[in-house]
Structure 1
Amino acid sequence: MTYQEQSPTPPIALTIFMLVKTTPEWLGFTSDQRISEFKTYVAPILRKYSTNVTLRFYDVEFYSARITDLWMWEATSHQAYEQLVEELRDTPIWDRYFEIVEILPGVENAHAKNDNHSTLTASDQAAA
């Protein structure tokens, strides 16, 4: 039996950290308008790719002048993530409401997995 058959959800293929900065246009909206814009433009795209891509939002404007938000995407499929981004680019969210400062894709513990080593966890460190 393969891992895919044992697991109810496919493993994460990659994690993407998207560093973004709000634009003056976005900041000019009320909180209700911001929610409405996300529901209009982002929610339908997230629903479309929900079986392969998830998104978590982090506010960082308190600690950084370079960016205001960090969007963490987790994808089980490179293709699904790429298609999602293509659709997102066709909305005002991309480079109108938010400046996309940097996109940092990564694979969790790739070195350990590629060399067949177990990965360390916080509990492993506490026990050492």
Structure 2
Amino acid sequence: MSEFEANVTAFMLVKTTPEWLRLTVEERVAAFENEVVPVIKSKARGVRSRFFDTEFYSARATDVWMWEARDHESYQLVVEALRETPFWDKYFEVVELLVGVENGYARNYGTRAPTSISA
């Protein structure tokens, strides 16, 4: 997929299920590649994702899946696609969805976005 400006970012907090954990690493990779990815690709365009392991620091969510989408409709299509796969409620419990617009405040008021980056 070509690069694009993400107008919507969603943090999907999930927790692995015992069914997922019973699978070997190879079975997990195959399940994801064969049962989840094709459905997402067939239904959603203008999205990209990143995965973060959090089980080392949180008992509530074992992973965070960050979705970036061109628009709200693209993000909604991803969620609808995921609900049609074993990802949703079979392999993972969706704990919480946090959806936002990066620097929305600055965009709305035409001001510079504050930053805490230091050298």
Counterpart in 2 of 1:92?
86
2:15 equivalent to 1:17: no
Q: Distance in 2 between matches of 1:88 and 1:50?
A: 10
Counterpart in 1 of 2:46?
52
Aligned amino acid, residue 99 of structure 1: E
Give the superposed CA RMSD: 1.9
Paired residues in the alignment total: 118
Please report how far the alpha carbon of residue 45 of structure 1 lies from its aligned counterpart in structure 2 after TM superposition: 3.3
Output aligned runs, 1:85-124, within 5 Å.
Answer: 85-123=79-117
Aligned residue among 21, 34, 42 for 2:36? 42
TM value normalised by structure 1? 0.83
Please report how far the alpha carbon of residue 33 of structure 1 lies from its aligned counterpart in structure 2 after TM superposition: 0.1
TM value normalised by structure 2? 0.89
2:75 equivalent to 1:81: yes
Aligned residue among 20, 24, 33 for 2:27? 33
The 1:101–1:117 alpha-carbon spacing in structure 2 relative to 1, beyond 3 Å, is same
Q: Distance in 1 between matches of 2:49 and 2:113?
A: 24
Please report how far the alpha carbon of residue 51 of structure 1 lies from its aligned counterpart in structure 2 after TM superposition: 4.5
> Identity rate of aligned residues, in percent?
49
Q: Distance in 2 between matches of 1:91 and 1:103?
A: 17
Is the contact made by 1:46 and 1:53 (CA closer than 8 Å) also made in structure 2? no
Q: Distance in 2 between matches of 1:116 and 1:18?
A: 29
Aligned amino acid, residue 68 of structure 2: E
Is the contact made by 1:45 and 1:84 (CA closer than 8 Å) also made in structure 2? no
Q: Which has the larger radius of gyration?
A: 1
Please report how far the alpha carbon of residue 73 of structure 1 lies from its aligned counterpart in structure 2 after TM superposition: 0.2
Is the contact made by 2:11 and 2:98 (CA closer than 8 Å) also made in structure 1? yes
